Structure 1
Amino acid sequence: MASLAFLRHLVQFHPLIDNHAHNILDRESATDYDSYPLEAITSEAHGRALQNAHTSLPLTRATSQLAELYGSPCEGWADILSARDQSIEQDYDALVRRCLQGTHMLLLDDLLTDEDVETFDWHDRFTVSKTKRIVRIEAVAASLLRQLGSGERKPGETVWSIFRSQFQNALSEAMEDAAVVGFKSVVCYRTGLDVDPYSSDDATLAASLIRTLDSGTTKSGYRVEDKPLNDWLVQQTLKAITFRKRSGVVKPLQFHTGLGDNDINLLKSNPACLQPLIAQYSDADIVLLHSAYPYTREAGYLACVYPNVYLDLGEVFPMVSREAQERILRESLEITPTSRLLWSTDGHFHPETFWLANRQFRQALETVLVDYVQNRDYTVSQAMRAAADILFNNSNRLYGLKQTPQYAPGNVSQLSLAKEPKLSSVSNKFDQFLLAHPDVEYIWMQWIDYTATVRVRMFPIREFARIAQSQRRVGISLAVFRMLQDDFVTTEGSTTGQFYLEPDLDSLYPNGAMVSPAAPSATVMTFWRSETNDPMDECPRTTLQNIVNKLYVEHQIDILCGFEIEVVFLQLVAPTDEATGRTTAYRPATTNHSWSQMTSETRRMVPLLEEVVRTLASMGIELQQFHAESAPGQFEFVLPPASPLKAVDALFAARQVVVAVADRHGLRATLHPRPIPGSAASAAHVHLSIHPPTRQDAFLAGILSHYSAVVAFTLAQNASYERVKSGFWAGSEWIAWGFQNRETPVRKIGPGHWEFKSLDGLANPYLAVAAVLAGGYLGLKVDMPLTIQDCTVDPSTLSPSQRTAIGITTPLPKSISQSLAALEIDEALQGLISPKLVQSYLIVKRTETERLNSMPEDQRRLWLIERY
């Protein structure tokens, strides 16, 4: 189980998204304390009132902490200013970088001022991801009014009609701008938060606009503070947000609430005033900024009872005392779901505002969450999830940022766990995974043998941490190299010696709902290492990665790979034989079933299908589509493209989810090529693309010239060859290719992009993809010409002379024995894959074939259904 030490570490070092801040001063203005007094970092006061801040607890506390930031002993405020001036003089960028350490992304309201500050994209150099904009609607309106005051009007146009059109256009442009992720209103400062949810008539609005124009000049500017016009700006923004949300564009509206400088009406800064507006625009996401202090409870209530409201916890750090900060957090958590809480610094002008806010917030959050854990209000895992959500996940989701947290080097790679000295240091990748998935208790280490059987060892999280740190090794008998699905070892096999599993931390996936209701766990794939810790030639994952690396190093070619999972869902229809313990019969889960149709029976399968999709999404695997396939009970799930190793890792994770979810619904999910005799077959088609595609012909030529041997890995059992037939859209019977032709084994889709149809769920896909890529590499190595021409029909329908005319001369193997024979004589392919691996593979597959052929057909089919 996760400990308090992990919780403390997460709170202090988890990357954060600052969902509301402002621009930092340029270097020349940073020490202009007359225009930008440093005391303002802890107070909203101005002028003479700001001088009183020197005796406030927030500034006293900040003095001590800033001395630490500058690395200089400071007795008082004068020493702080001196140390700061020195830091800026030495390296202003370095100071900014220290102040923004741990900040993954900034969302800036960059219209606070356009003088003396850096542009919003200047801040990119100090954060992991590029800065995004929050558009202040009153500033947009003021800019339009300045133009309107000096512009000319066309006949029939009124000032109001022009302004209305221009403001609505400005909203539309902001909606289309990818750099803009939200809007902000300061109506709280202007006329208060009691915004009328309904627009006034045009005459009233036109009069309000005229009063606003009369109050300013094109030189001095126009401050929008007439209530009908101010309310209209808010209403129009919420209408635009609601309208665009229907098309998938989500950009929330932030409201300044609570404390501010002395031109605010404190009573009307209570977010409770917004309740009618929130209810009226229930589809528009609304963020209540600045903890709404001193109205935190009111804001928390709104975020609790309205699904479109979020509470931001910013600005009070570092504006109030430590006790007040902790109290504000507790009040926020009284009834507000942690999924509705966001973090921001409200940092502005001085970079220290960011540093102090982040430091003090992390301190307060740690104190409050640890207290809740010790009082058993939260488990450690629940508290860690709450912290990660508040700091990062909620903003990432709300603003559609699509970010993955990245940790600063040195912060996460060395966990300092005083209470758990045996777990003092784990790898950075494992740390990141634990922080993102704090509830995981067990790790499943998996490897895939030559029969495509998934084998697993399970470890408690602390023991796996030792494995990840190379403090211990996991040995596996070398008998695995010559072992069948039922643990039978071939006569050539040996139980002497062992290899070692090395976890590939890039392949960590949370098992999520896959193993519910068991304790939370995760899966990791492994590489095989020798006694001397060298990579082993016999390892399928190492083999695949080696070939991918050779293609890049020697030919500067990158590979993308994506899989389709075709699966048949079956129901048990005959009881288990008590004497043998074997299942006796299955039938398809649906029979009123056809390709890409929603029949009455397939509709009943939708909850299962959607559960698969949701489970995979929770693991970080976003399916591209899913639909009914042709055979009874058959469905297809399309995985996203990735690098070959990651794509195969994701394929196994997805397959295991499909099987587990089906099992929870009382069904058996099988990858058997044809579990229902006479029905359409199941495959595991793989899409491959090479980048750049400039040498695509040589790459394809190499694959086709070695295709008979390649299919020994892709069509790995005799049952697989039931698909090597014409008329099934499965690639027909000849080695050929065709543009968008599903009756050739290779379908070309675009430049350097092909679908390979000669692959199913009985194959080890690491070896299958390695074999295809090996053929492509061999073609590139000799710059092989592509002699087989584009075939536009099923090659089996052509006469021998017609096939020969377009270079189609070789039939596909019709059995595993034929393809293994082709592999045995293909020395070039063997040499690239690994002679040792191929030797073991040939022995295993021939022994497997002999044992399967000895079974009656029905028994053999059931035997495979139970295992694949």
Structure 2
Amino acid sequence: MGSWAAQQRQEARQLAARLSAEGVRNVALTWVDNAGITRVKTIPAERLAAAAERGIGMSPVFDVFTSDDAITASEHLGGPDGDLRLFPDLERVTSLAAQPGWAWAPADRYDQLGLPHPACQRQFARRMTERAAAAGLELRMGFETEWVVTRAPAGHPAPGRADEPLDYPCTGPAYGMTRVVELSDYLRDVTEALSVQGIDVLQIHPEYAPGQFEVTTAPGDPVRAADDVVLVRETVRAVSVRHGLRASFAPSVVAGEVGNGCHLHTGLYRDGTSLHRSPDAAWGLAPEATAFLGGVLDALPALLAIGCPSPASYLRLQPSHWAGVYQCWGVENREAALRLITGAPDDPDGGHAEIKTFDAAANPYLAVGAVIAAGLHGIESAAQLPPPQTGDPGALGVRERARRGIVRLPATLTEAADRLEKSAPLHEAMGEVLHGAVLAVRRAEEAHFAESEDDAIAAATRWRW
């Protein structure tokens, strides 16, 4: 243990020296709370070695913060007592291209005795990744991040009004080249900043809603994928500020319009071979991949409380909007909650699955960890997939959906939280402390907005993510 600590100190000192040579003066240490908000403690770069050795103090109460900065309580967490230590992941320390003089690192949380904090979402994601590895399985995950960009109003008036005017800097049609022309400098700077920071961008393009764009990043280890999406969001936010713009990743920017998703892509491998590319298997899925995806599909009602954690999420989850609101799967079907992507025939790594329902209000560490837990439970219970859905389930009549066994996923946060509360596999995987904290935040969010109209919910949450 002593030699490991000495090695960490030496590595941190070398990092601090490198950062100083690059002109970095401060390091932002981030974690994501159960409401999906990225919280931060910052340190001078020269304090990096001390932080790596002893951590940075923080209160455990952040686990029961809601998206509007109110504080609730669970059975195990809440109130002014206690202290945790934030430890930066030195392997992920990154100089921030759009914030000169700053670097970033995701942090793990421990108690004062050096034991893992049971509600640390990043360590939950790591535990689930290791649980899969113990079964001989490798997960490669990646996110599609959608956001809406508007011009920042003069004087930056306090947002949150339902009648707040939104000034879009581009007026071109959905997916149109006009938007790229209108914001070419902005999109170039986003792409360049991500590249400089080591993020492998696969695509960046206009999306459907006014002022909406999407960036897709390369898949990787689940914890790294969650780190990457945090870095992507904050980089987009920083580049936007430098262009006089504001970026919103909220599930519903304007009630009644298409919202922002944050789709999670998942590929399953054994011994480096994709389990989505079995030539003699139905849909190309090896038995383990079928059972894994069957477990995810079965758990989707409970997983919505993880991946769609805000009342605003359910403004976005509307039928026939490519949001995946029915509990079904399909081959290349963008209306299915679980979409099987076959990929190009000559691409051995092309096959994987996409969860359409999730949005950027979700804590990405919770999202990847919970999906892995659900999939592993599917393998353990020999879950199966029903026949794939073709076409839009929303276009079918009620009787036809019932005949096919297609049911609506939870339409409210309360319903999703109820399903999470009753999910024994997710309860076991998350542990009592984390599971209880997540539920406490979900109940508080739903209660806070219980009497609010859709427009008010969208306005109140528009700039929280």
TM-score bracket for the superposition, by shorter chain length: 0.7 to 0.9
Q: Is the 8 A contact 2:327 2:337 kept in 1?
A: yes
Mapping of residues 789-800 of structure 1, within 5 Å: 789-800=387-398
Match of 1:568 in 2: 148
Q: What is the identity, as a one-letter code, of the residue corresponding to 1:862?
A: A
Is the aligned partner of 1:863 residue 2:460? Answer: yes
Select which of 187, 197, 204 maps to 1:626: 204
Q: What is the identity, as a one-letter code, of the residue corresponding to 1:453?
A: I
Deviation at 1:863, TM superposition (A): 2.6
In structure 2, what is the Cα distance between the partners aligned to 1:681 and 1:504? 33
Deviation at 1:827, TM superposition (A): 1.6
In structure 2, what is the Cα distance between the partners aligned to 1:687 and 1:609? 23
Match of 1:428 in 2: 11
Unaligned ranges ≥5, structure 2: 276-285, 343-349
Greater percentage in strand? 2
In structure 2, what is the Cα distance between the partners aligned to 1:829 and 1:772? 9
Is the aligned partner of 1:499 residue 2:84? Answer: yes
Match of 1:719 in 2: 312
Match of 1:831 in 2: 428
Q: Is the 8 A contact 2:312 2:461 kept in 1?
A: no
Select which of 450, 459, 467 maps to 2:51: 467
Deviation at 1:598, TM superposition (A): 1.2
Query: How far does the alpha carbon of each residue in 1:435-493 deviate from its partner, in whole angstroms, 9 at most, with x for none?
Result: 4873222211111111111111111122121121x1x3322112112222444222552
Deviation at 1:526, TM superposition (A): 0.9
Q: Is the 8 A contact 2:340 2:353 kept in 1?
A: yes
Q: What is the identity, as a one-letter code, of the residue corresponding to 2:14?
A: D
* Displacement over 6 Å in runs of 4+: 580-584
Deviation at 1:604, TM superposition (A): 1.6
Q: What is the identity, as a one-letter code, of the residue corresponding to 1:721?
A: Y
Match of 1:846 in 2: 443
Q: Report the secondary structure of 1:638's partner residue.
A: strand
Deviation at 1:856, TM superposition (A): 5.5
Match of 1:782 in 2: 381
Q: Is the 8 A contact 1:700 1:779 kept in 2?
A: yes
Q: What is the identity, as a one-letter code, of the residue corresponding to 1:710?
A: L
Query: How far does the alpha carbon of each residue in 1:713-759 deviate from its partner, in whole angstroms, 9 at most, with x for none?
Result: 0011121112322221221x310100000010111013861011111
Q: Is the 8 A contact 2:29 2:105 kept in 1?
A: yes
In structure 1, what is the Cα distance between the partners aligned to 2:431 and 2:154? 45
Match of 2:357 in 1: 758
Select which of 174, 192, 197 maps to 1:614: 192
Mapping of residues 30-69 of structure 1, within 5 Å: none
Query: How far does the alpha carbon of each residue in 1:375-434 deviate from its partner, in whole angstroms, 9 at most, with x for none?
Result: xxxxxxxxxxxxxxxxxxxxxxxxxxxxxxxxxxx9xx989xxxxxxxxx8343763685
Q: Report the secondary structure of 1:677's partner residue.
A: coil
Select which of 42, 45, 62 maps to 1:480: 62
Q: Is the 8 A contact 1:616 1:657 kept in 2?
A: yes
Q: Is the 8 A contact 1:592 1:602 kept in 2?
A: no
In structure 1, what is the Cα distance between the partners aligned to 2:421 and 2:42? 37
Match of 1:137 in 2: none
Match of 1:741 in 2: 333
Deviation at 1:643, TM superposition (A): 0.7
In structure 2, what is the Cα distance between the partners aligned to 1:761 and 1:462? 33
Q: Is the 8 A contact 1:563 1:638 kept in 2?
A: yes
Query: How far does the alpha carbon of each residue in 1:502-539 deviate from its partner, in whole angstroms, 9 at most, with x for none?
Result: 21122212112x224xxx12111111112221112211
Higher relative contact order (CA 8 A, sep 6+): 2
Q: Is the 8 A contact 2:73 2:437 kept in 1?
A: no
Match of 1:443 in 2: 27
Q: Is the 8 A contact 1:560 1:642 kept in 2?
A: yes
Match of 1:311 in 2: none
Match of 1:541 in 2: 122
Aligned in 2, Cα 1:508/1:854: closer, same or farther, shift over 3 Å? farther
Q: What is the identity, as a one-letter code, of the residue corresponding to 1:704?
A: L
Query: How far does the alpha carbon of each residue in 1:280-333 deviate from its partner, in whole angstroms, 9 at most, with x for none?
Result: xxxxxxxxxxxxxxxxxxxxxxxxxxxxxxxxxxxxxxxxxxxxxxxxxxxxxx
Mapping of residues 699-710 of structure 1, within 5 Å: 699-710=292-303
What is the TM-score of this pair, normalised by structure 1?
A: 0.48
Unaligned ranges ≥5, structure 1: 1-409, 416-424
Match of 2:111 in 1: 530
In structure 1, what is the Cα distance between the partners aligned to 2:170 and 2:362? 27
Deviation at 1:854, TM superposition (A): 4.7
Deviation at 1:572, TM superposition (A): 4.4
In structure 2, what is the Cα distance between the partners aligned to 1:756 and 1:491? 30
In structure 2, what is the Cα distance between the partners aligned to 1:847 and 1:490? 7
Q: Report the secondary structure of 1:501's partner residue.
A: strand
Q: Is the 8 A contact 1:568 1:588 kept in 2?
A: no
Match of 2:282 in 1: none
Query: How far does the alpha carbon of each residue in 1:802-858 deviate from its partner, in whole angstroms, 9 at most, with x for none?
Result: 44555x343200011100000111122211122211111111121122223455654
Deviation at 1:667, TM superposition (A): 1.3
Mapping of residues 339-350 of structure 1, within 5 Å: none
Select which of 175, 178, 181 maps to 1:596: 175
Query: How far does the alpha carbon of each residue in 1:776-817 deviate from its partner, in whole angstroms, 9 at most, with x for none?
Result: 01001122232x1111111222345544555x3432000111
In structure 2, what is the Cα distance between the partners aligned to 1:631 and 1:809? 28
Q: What is the identity, as a one-letter code, of the residue corresponding to 2:387?
A: Q
In structure 2, what is the Cα distance between the partners aligned to 1:455 and 1:502? 14
Greater percentage in helix? 1
Q: Is the 8 A contact 1:573 1:585 kept in 2?
A: no
Q: Report the secondary structure of 1:484's partner residue.
A: coil
In structure 1, what is the Cα distance between the partners aligned to 2:300 and 2:13? 40
Q: Is the 8 A contact 1:624 1:640 kept in 2?
A: yes
In structure 2, what is the Cα distance between the partners aligned to 1:444 and 1:454? 11
Is the aligned partner of 1:768 residue 2:393? Answer: no
Query: How far does the alpha carbon of each residue in 1:181-201 deviate from its partner, in whole angstroms, 9 at most, with x for none?
Result: xxxxxxxxxxxxxxxxxxxxx
Deviation at 1:766, TM superposition (A): 0.8
Aligned in 2, Cα 1:862/1:725: closer, same or farther, shift over 3 Å? closer
Q: Report the secondary structure of 1:742's partner residue.
A: coil
Aligned in 2, Cα 1:595/1:767: closer, same or farther, shift over 3 Å? same
What is the TM-score of this pair, normalised by structure 2?
A: 0.87
Match of 1:304 in 2: none
In structure 2, what is the Cα distance between the partners aligned to 1:430 and 1:646? 23
Aligned in 2, Cα 1:768/1:534: closer, same or farther, shift over 3 Å? same
In structure 2, what is the Cα distance between the partners aligned to 1:838 and 1:734? 25
Match of 1:558 in 2: 138
Q: Is the 8 A contact 1:698 1:785 kept in 2?
A: yes
Identity, % of aligned positions: 28
Deviation at 1:673, TM superposition (A): 1.9
In structure 2, what is the Cα distance between the partners aligned to 1:437 and 1:752? 43
In structure 1, what is the Cα distance between the partners aligned to 2:19 and 2:237? 25
Q: Report the secondary structure of 2:266's partner residue.
A: strand
In structure 2, what is the Cα distance between the partners aligned to 1:503 and 1:432? 12
Deviation at 1:494, TM superposition (A): 1.6
Aligned in 2, Cα 1:491/1:534: closer, same or farther, shift over 3 Å? closer
Q: Report the secondary structure of 1:780's partner residue.
A: helix
In structure 1, what is the Cα distance between the partners aligned to 2:448 and 2:304? 21
In structure 1, what is the Cα distance between the partners aligned to 2:307 and 2:314? 10
- Coordinate RMSD, CA, aligned: 2.5
Deviation at 1:605, TM superposition (A): 0.7
Match of 1:649 in 2: 227
In structure 2, what is the Cα distance between the partners aligned to 1:854 and 1:804? 32
Q: Report the secondary structure of 2:354's partner residue.
A: strand
Deviation at 1:585, TM superposition (A): 1.8
In structure 1, what is the Cα distance between the partners aligned to 2:312 and 2:214? 20
Count residues in correspondence.
435
